[in-house]
Amino acid sequence: MSESVNSQLFAGFRAPKEIVFGAGQRRSLPKILNGLGTRVFFCIDPVMASHPDVERLVEDVAANGTDVQKFTEISPELPMQDIAAAVSAAEKHSTEVVVAIGGGSSIDMAKLVSCLLTHPGDVRQYFGEFAVPGPILPIVAIPTTAGTGSEVTPVAVMTDSDNGVKAGVSSPYLIPAVALCDPELTLTCPPSVTAASGADALTHCIESYTAIRRENKPDLLSSRVAIGQSALTSSLALEGVQAISEGLLDAYRNPDDLDARSRVMYGALLGGLAFGTAGNAVAHALQYPVGASTHTPHGVGTGLLMPYVMEYNQQARVPEYAKIAKIVGRAIIEDEVLADEVSEEYRALILASDAEANTSREQEQLAAAAPRLVQQFLSEIKIPSDLSQIGFDPATIGTAAEKGVASKRLCDNNPVPLDVPGAHSILTAAMKGQLSGS
Ligand SMILES: NC(=O)c1ccc[n+]([C@@H]2O[C@H](COP(=O)([O-])OP(=O)(O)OC[C@H]3O[C@@H](n4cnc5c(N)ncnc54)[C@H](O)[C@@H]3O)[C@@H](O)[C@H]2O)c1
Ligand SMILES: [Fe+2]
């Protein structure tokens, strides 16, 4: 660290006022709410609503002298037209605080409910960055997937089915007051949800770790929600890659493995903290049109696309990709199923003490291998490795490339500029399943 503490050092960070992480910590909710309000509106994932731990939690909050109202009509990927019913129920309840229990879709619903209760109107007027006019009701976010990091981020994403796109509200006011992360709540996630949400978390870590570096200007944080890579977010993002690499394969194969679940949820939290300030980039921009046309979960698309976007960005981020290759590569080498898939040559490079110990030529070799290693890792949890496997129509590549590039907020954050031909080339490689690196 001492080498990097110099006049070039820059860091920016936004986060909830309180973050609590640990098995069993959900039980701290009644006490947490004491300081926030007595009329509580719960946005609860429909699957989790009948989970005994969740039922008990709501009962405990009610027994603490709090007026509770539950809302559970929340669909995956959060269709925009479902938001109004939740806002109206929350309004009738004279809500003072909103609690989300669920995956990204439920947490994002809570953010939008809280926003629209405080600033009534059409949600579309808040699309984009900094459009929310002021503070919103406090939110306590309790994730039940290990993925989106929405419990700490300034973003709420919804599906605009009329236009076939994902749309986002991005404002520091949306950051929950409290993130309460209890990995025991993820034990019931089926492998498909563990895989999609875990792949998304890994993508958040990689995209924020390798995002653009902007000039250290005084108005950087006030003019952008996603400011690009900086010291605080980079260290969290890399730690997130580590935690997810250590836990995701076991969490997928053995759903009851609480230790593995904890590592992945911790990695997802770190990914959220990192991208919440740094921002995501092109894997997310291209997932939006791909997800809308194939109706596949967000994390399946981001995980599938990430290796191809890494290949596109590779020359601009050699030391970063070398580090990622070493962490993900080590997880592959140490895994009993995947161990033999790494050649002797790469095994030696990956296991050398740290990335700085590799020569610049070796770093280039590692960086070139990074997309393939990430793809191998994600293939083991059945994330498809090409777009044909999720039914993407090759005739729509041109439209998807245009829609992806139109997500300017995300594309501006990429370390390499993206134009429509660039997006076309990434999608074409992803269609053919062609990664050139070894
Ligand atoms: N706001 C952000 O910062 C942010 C970041 C990334 C993605 N997102 C958005 O989040 C959404 C995806 O969220 P997600 O991946 O968490 O999935 P999700 O919330 O859509 O849930 C996926 C499925 O898993 C089920 N589920 C959730 N928790 C479960 C559990 N513990 N046990 C059993 N089943 C469970 C749900 O019922 C649902 O069927 C997308 O709309 C995506 O665009 C938001
Ligand atoms: Fe994501």
Q: Are residues 239 and 309 in the same domain?
A: yes
Ligand 1 pocket mutation pick from 50, 157, 185, 269 by most atoms within 8 angstroms of CB? 157
Residue with the bigger pLDDT between 335 and 6: it is 335
Final residue before a domain boundary, out of 186, 210, 234:
186
Domain ends where: 134, 161, 186? 186
Do 264 and 340 lie in one domain? The reply is yes
- Pocket of ligand 1, candidates 45, 82, 159: which has the most ligand atoms within 8 Å of its Cβ, to mutate? 45
Query: Which element (helix H / strand E) includes 348?
Result: helix 344-351
With a pLDDT cut of 90, the percent of the chain lying above it is 88
Q: What is the reported pLDDT for 438?
A: 43
Nearest-atom number in ligand 1 for the CA of 190 is: 33
pLDDT score, position 137: 98
Give CA angle at 422 (235, 127), nearest 5°: 65
To test the ligand 1 pocket, which listed residue (80, 107, 148) has its Cβ within 8 A of the most ligand atoms? 148
Residue 1 has pLDDT above 70, yes or no: no
Quick check: is 244 in a domain? Answer: yes
Asked, for residue 328, whether it belongs to a domain, the answer is yes
The closest of 379, 325, 318, 382 to 354, measured between CA atoms, is: 325
Classify residue 348: in a domain, yes or no: yes
Tell me, yes or no, whether 199 and 301 share the same domain. yes
- Note whether 153 and 175 are same-domain residues: yes
Burial-class residue 190 by CB neighbours within 10 Å (0-12, 13-18, 19+): exposed
Q: Give the residue, by CA position, lying nearest to ligand 1 atom 30.
A: 189
Ligand nearest, relative to CA of residue 105: 1
Q: Which atom of ligand 1 is least distant from the CA of 272?
A: 3
pLDDT at 386: 97
Q: What is the pLDDT of residues 228-237, one digit of tens each?
A: 999 999 999 9
Q: Identify the residues whose C-beta falls under 6 Å from ligand 1.
A: 45-48, 76-78, 102-106, 108, 144-145, 147-150, 153, 155-157, 166, 185-186, 188-189, 193, 196-197, 200, 298-299
For ligand 1, atom 41, the nearest C-alpha belongs to 77
Integer Cα distance of 40 and 66 in angstroms? 7
In a domain, 269, yes or no: yes
Mean pLDDT to the nearest integer, 182-194: 98
Among 74, 101, 108, the mutation site with the greatest number of ligand 1 atoms within 8 A of its Cβ is 108
- Look at residue 42 and tell me whether its pLDDT is greater than 90: yes
Mean pLDDT rounded to a whole number for the chain: 94
Instruction: Decide if 87 is inside a domain.
Output: yes
The pTM is what? 0.96
User: Is there a single domain that holds both residue 115 and residue 199?
Assistant: no
**In CATH, what number is assigned to the domain containing residue 170?**
3.40.50.1970
Determine which residue's CA is closest to atom 15 belonging to ligand 1. 197
For residue 213, tell me if it sits in a domain: yes
How remote is the CA of residue 348 from the centroid of ligand 2, in Å?
A: 33
What is the CA(123)–ligand 1 centre distance, in A?
Answer: 20
Query: Quick one: 244 and 179 in the same domain?
Result: no
pLDDT class of 144 with cuts at 50, 70, 90? very high
The domain of 349 spans 191-432
Q: State the pLDDT at residue 4.
A: 46
CA distance 81 to 83: 6
Beta strand pairing call for 165-170 and 155-160 = antiparallel
**Domain of 207: which CATH number?**
1.20.1090.10
Distance CA 208, CA 279 (A): 6
* Judgement on whether residues 320 and 383 belong to the same structural domain of the protein: yes
pLDDT tens column, 394-429: 999 999 999 999 999 899 999 999 999 999 999 999
Closest protein CA for atom 5 of ligand 1: 148
Distance from the CA of 77 to the center of ligand 1, in angstroms?
7
Q: Which atom of ligand 1 is nearest to the CA of 108?
A: 1
Q: Are residues 86 and 195 in the same domain?
A: no
pLDDT exceeds cutoff 80 at 165: no
Number of structural domains the chain divides into:
2
Among 50-59, 305-314, 344-353, 381-390, the minimum mean pLDDT is found in 344-353
End-of-domain residue from the set 141, 166, 186: 186
Q: Of the ranges 2-6, 99-103, 201-205, which one carries the lowest mean pLDDT score?
A: 2-6
DSSP string, 271-305: HHHHHHHH---HHHHHHHHHHHHHT--HHHHHHHH
pLDDT reading at 153 higher than 90: yes
Residue 14 confidence (pLDDT): 97
Q: Which ligand sits closest to the CA of 77?
A: 1
pLDDT greater than 70 at residue 6: no
Percent of the chain with pLDDT over 70: 97
Given this model, what pLDDT does residue 437 score?
Answer: 57
Q: Is there a single domain that holds both residue 175 and residue 264?
A: no
Q: What is the pLDDT of residues 359-370, one digit of tens each?
A: 888 899 999 999
Q: Are residues 135 and 212 in the same domain?
A: no
Instruction: Tell whether 178 and 197 lie within a shared domain.
Output: no
Instruction: Say how many Å lie between the CA of residue 90 and the centre of ligand 2.
Output: 27
Asked if pLDDT for residue 357 goes beyond 80, the answer is: no
Kindly report the length of the chain.
Answer: 438
Q: Is the pLDDT of residue 274 over 90?
A: yes
296 and 252: one domain?
yes
5 belongs to a structural domain: no
Q: Using CA atoms, how far apart are residues 316 and 270, in angstroms rounded to an integer? A: 24
Q: Does 291 map to a domain?
A: yes
Query: Which amino acid is residue 313, in one-letter code?
Result: N
Over residues 242-273, the pLDDT tens digits come to: 999 999 999 999 999 999 999 999 999 999 99
Q: What is the mean pLDDT of residues 94-120?
A: 98
> Beta partners for 21?
181
